Amino acid sequence: MSDYPDPTDLLAHRSPFLFCDEITELEPGVSCTALWHLSGEEAFFSGHFPGQPTLPGVLMVEALAQTAGLAALSDGDFTGKLPLFGGIDKARFRRQVIPGETLILKAQLGRMSRMAGRASGVASVNDEVACEAEMMFVIADAVDL
């Protein structure tokens, strides 16, 4: 059992759009490493692509954003807040991710203010980079979830 919070304790996301299964490293307000275990039962695999299931790149970027959200929301200054995408820069996709693989998601927060922030992230499988991106987000007040 992990000493870190469950991702649902911090993120507003829920299945089927919660992509961080567990936190493996966390420095509140600084960085987070999380895992996404891809079983192959996820609905998107049946259509992307039939006979050659591949994780969509946009979902890798979303998973990195959720990991950055875990880093931000674990900092008490952002309790009750909701980080929303403000932009994606320099996204690159380096390898396919297929059913049965575990995506290791690492996000590092950059400059943060009460209203917005920046982060960078790298998603990898077995030490091979699958995706990397820089992200911007705005900080909104969360409604009761």
Alpha helices in the chain (DSSP H): 7-10, 43-47, 57-73
| Residue 37: active-site member | no
Task: Kindly tell me the sign of the dihedral angle through the C-alpha atoms of 8, 13, 19, 23.
Answer: negative
Catalytic residue among 48, 57, 138, 142: 48
Give Cβ neighbours of residue 134 (< 8 Å, ≥ 6 apart): 88, 89, 90, 91, 118, 119, 120, 121
> Which residues does the annotation mark as catalytic?
48
